[in-house]
Structure formats: C-alpha cells, structure tokens
Structure 1
C-alpha cells in the first residue's frame, strides 16, 4: 500500500481502504511505530475478535517487542473481519514491510466520517516530527 494513500492515527496505526463501495480496510502499525518498538516478538489478538465491532480508540490487541508491550488501538470504529494469520505466527514480518504484508487486521468501516478525520501522510510526518522533538 502506498503510504500517501493511507490515513494515520495519533497512536501510530495506519488504515487503508481496500474497497470503497464495501468500506473494507486494512489496519496496521506505522513504520515509525515498528522502528520505535524494536524487535517484535509477539502479537496478541484474540481469535474471538472476528465479527466484533470495536469503537475507534479502543484496544483490539497488543504487540510485544523485546523491551516493551504496547496496545493496538482501532484508528476508527469497525467490525473485525480477519486477522493476518501470517503475522500471528511470525510477528517479526511486520519489519519486512509494515504497509503491505504487515497489515494486522481487516475491518469493515462503520463510520466513514471517522476515517476522513484521520491524518494524511503529510500530517502524520509533521506529527511524528513534533513527537521526536519532545
């Protein structure tokens, strides 16, 4: 997925619309987030999450790196359709390409307006630039 066509959350998740007419999207973590985390060793996403509607900003799982565990947040409200089983068994693959094969969940977007309010790539670059200055 082209980073310029994605939307970004302040929690460092990206979302990319796959099918506009069906409001299907992939969600993953940004390159910045995976770089900050370091070596990713485990993704904890409950299999029972499939079919669940989760509000934007709520946690859908955790990601564990060698030195830390971080929550994974829904960038927008959505119904979980699928988890990336390849990543569940090999979470380190997020480092290979966090924007293509590194998607974590596939969702049905519930409120398109929430998607439209997320940051563009340019806005996200500015955001992480400011965050690095702190």
Structure 2
C-alpha cells in the first residue's frame, strides 16, 4: 500500500496526472466546520432553534401548544425587517377553540416568514416544529438563548 501512495505522490506521477487534466491525490485531514444548533423554549409555548453559523433562530409554537389550541384556522405573522425585543408580540394564532398571541423568544430582526401558513394554517397542527415554523429571526443578542428553557425544563411547566 505504501508503494502505491509513494508512486501517486511522485513528481512523475503528478506530471502525468496533470497532463491528463487530473489532480494528484491530496492526503491529510479535511477542514471541518462546526455548527451548533440549540433549541430552547418559552413558558408561553414558543420554541426557537438557533444556528450559530448563520445567527438565525427558527421560531415555532410547540406541539403541546398546537394540541391545546385545536384546529388552527388563521395565523398572523410578523412583517419582514421588523426589529423585535425578547417578549414582544410578533403575531397571533386563531383556532376553532381559542386565539393566542405569539411572542418573540429572542431579540433581533425578522429575516423570513413562513408564507405557506397564509394559505395552509393547518400546518401548525400537522407539523408545528418543522413545516409549521413561523419566522426566522437574526439574533441581536445570542446570549438570550441561555435564558430560555431546555426541553426538560419546558415539559416540567405543563406536566
């Protein structure tokens, strides 16, 4: 095996590969980038999934919240570019049983909203934490994530 690697790395082999439009093999450790994704919860039943590589937090309501609401019939979403502070009202959800305000779990700027909810509000019932996401916030204070509840602590608030 070593002789094959030596031959592949020899200058003659390298020249032959380059003349054929090929690159010589490169050995060593690949460069890896790490992304940390943290999910936290509020006592008002919002969740935020923060990606430290992009600085974006994906905001949704929890599965527990959607089951308490019942069939969702309307979702009011925030406006793109709006600056919000942690705890600000950013929207509302109406169901056949009740209406509930949505609060910003973190401070930042609204970067995206889930336009599909305008025509398919039931996505909040089918997939509240994936397809039924509400908005994406570019966090201005990532340290606020530490003030939110872990999944275990969140479950203790309603169990």
CA distance in 2, matches of 1:24, 1:45: 17
Question: Which protein is richer in strand relative to its size?
Answer: 1
CA distance in 1, matches of 2:100, 2:42: 15
Cα distance in 2, alignment partners of residues 93 and 112 from structure 1: 28
Unaligned runs of 5+ in 1: 130-134
- Residues 1:62 and 2:92 are matched in the alignment: yes
Give the paired residue count: 122
Q: Does 1:45 align with 2:45?
A: no
Cα root mean square deviation, aligned: 1.1
- Cα deviations across residues 2-41 of structure 1 (Å, max 9, x unaligned)? xxx5200011000001x31331110000001000000100
- Does residue 1:87 correspond to 2:117, yes or no? yes
SS of equivalent to 2:122: helix
Equivalent of 2:132 in 102, 107, 118: 102
Write out the 4+ residue segments of structure 1 that deviate beyond 6 Å after TM superposition. Answer: none
Larger Rg over CA atoms? 2
Q: CA deviation at 1:104?
A: 0.5
